Amino acid sequence: MAKEAKTNAMRILDKNKISYEVNTYECDEFIDGVHIADMLGQPYESSFKTLVAVGKSKNYYVFAIPIAMELDMKKAAAAVNEKSVELIHVKDINAVTGYIRGGCTPIGMKKLYRTVFHSTITDFDKVIISGGKIGAQIILAPADLIKVVNASVYDIVQ
């Protein structure tokens, strides 16, 4: 059996001795996290999507929210002390993060950007995030995830 190739995110978790599970799935075309959760029978509430935004200051920020929710731009901006933030264009995701749409995870981006998780993340024993490539998920304790990316937690959804 071929060993599953580790993503940068998984190597960072290993290096930090953080326990996690990997879930892989077949995916011909990434639509969105809700589609993947439906396909895999996973709860929306504990499955988090990673969004990248740029502030008025031109700094980049990472926001992770439950997959079925929408980011509240005013709350997100307030959480990072910006006048406003806007999501980066899909075509810029790889240049900014090193990941592609559908495989973007808050762990192991090109730089450690200021990261904010939606406040419900602490409601769960385990959360699901992208594994760093399409077809891979990482399942881990929220406290470990928050710690490894030095994130803060705020109410940032509509």
pLDDT in tens, 21-34: 999 888 777 678 89
Is residue 32 classed as helix, strand or coil in its secondary structure? coil
The end-to-end CA distance of the chain, in Å, is 45
pLDDT value at position 26? 86
Comparing CA positions, the residue from 13, 96, 33 lying closest to residue 60 is 96
By residue count, the chain amounts to 158
pLDDT value at position 53? 97
The 10 Å CB-count burial string (b at 16+, else e) for 122-133 is: eeeeebbbbbbb
% of the chain at pLDDT higher than 90? 82
Average pLDDT over residues 23-47: 87
Q: Set out the domains of the chain in order of their start, with CATH numbers.
A: 8-154 (3.90.960.10)
SS3 content of the chain, % helix, strand, coil (to 5): 25, 25, 45
pLDDT value at position 102? 87
Task: Calculate Rg over the CA atoms of the chain.
Answer: 15
| 155 contacts: CB under 8 Å, gap ≥ 6 | 75, 118, 119
In whole angstroms, what is the distance from residue 80 CA to residue 75 CA? 9
pLDDT value at position 101? 87
pLDDT tens for each residue of 83-138: 999 999 999 999 999 998 889 999 999 999 999 999 999 999 999 999 999 899 99
CA dist 140 to 29, 57, 87, Å?
Answer: 25, 32, 26
The H or E element spanning position 15 is helix 8-15
